[in-house]
Amino acid sequence: MKITAGFLAGGGIGMFTLAQAFKHKPQLDLKPRQLSHEPSENPWNYTPLDPGTTAKLAYQFYPDGSCMYATFKSIVSQLAEIHGEPFVSYPYHMFRYGHGGIGGFGTTCGTLNGSAALFGLFITDKAVRDSLITDLFQWYEKEPQPVFKPEGSEMELPAIASNSVLCHASNTHWSKIAGVEIDSKERKERCRRMTASVAAKVVEMLNSLHSNSYFANTHSNEAAQSCMACHGNEGKIKNTAGKMDCNSCHDESLGHKMFSDVHYRLIDEK
């Protein structure tokens, strides 16, 4: 038994040493950088709004059409009051499809879907638009929510990071930690309050972009960057694409933790 234990201990130390010797922790270089943006010459330009007012409107509109609808309408309806057309005639009803992760399918959270639509409405530059979407989605993954609390409400809800941009994963994770059922009034109120928080965040981002003071990559997910450095287009493995948090769906095995870097180093260059 002592001899066996010695072999196991020695082998474990050897494997650990080997893994550390090859360890290089590949990271994508995504440092914060200032974005410059010039409004396009079309009638769909953004005017700075108040985040607090927007949050209250999103919470108010939520019962009429759920998360995506309320996120979008809370911002565009204010611009309609300021500018009139073309904002006045916008068909808000089309965004009711985003409820429950698109028609109840549990995919992208409706607040994010509506936010991306807003960025698409105001920003024609693909690089700038994609940067804002990435920042918002990564903020959503890691920022404990909800933090918005409507006036007069006595319901206390815990603020918990969703770890995912997917409706079903976000709701399931929050409900499990909060100790409530997925169909509970607490979980439903959580989504309503999150809609208010996301709408306010979008206004903060657009306000900064409008004043040319916006810095991108301020919510970068280092764990996801590390995964994509190997598995993304810039890595050797190149077997996936995306920016979302990998760990919300994929568990990292012991073998991957110990030898992924060794494996990466030994892959033949293509």
pLDDT tens digits along 146-178:
999 999 999 999 999 999 999 999 999 999 999
The per-residue pLDDT for range 180-194, each reduced to its tens digit, is 999 999 999 999 999
pTM score, whole prediction: 0.78
> E strand or H helix at 169, and its extent?
helix 167-178
Instruction: List the one residue out of 147, 131, 130, 142 whose CA is nearest residue 52.
Output: 147
Q: Parse the chain into domains and list their residue ranges.
A: 47-216, 221-270
Burial grade of 123 (CB within 10 A; 0-12, 13-18, 19 or more): buried
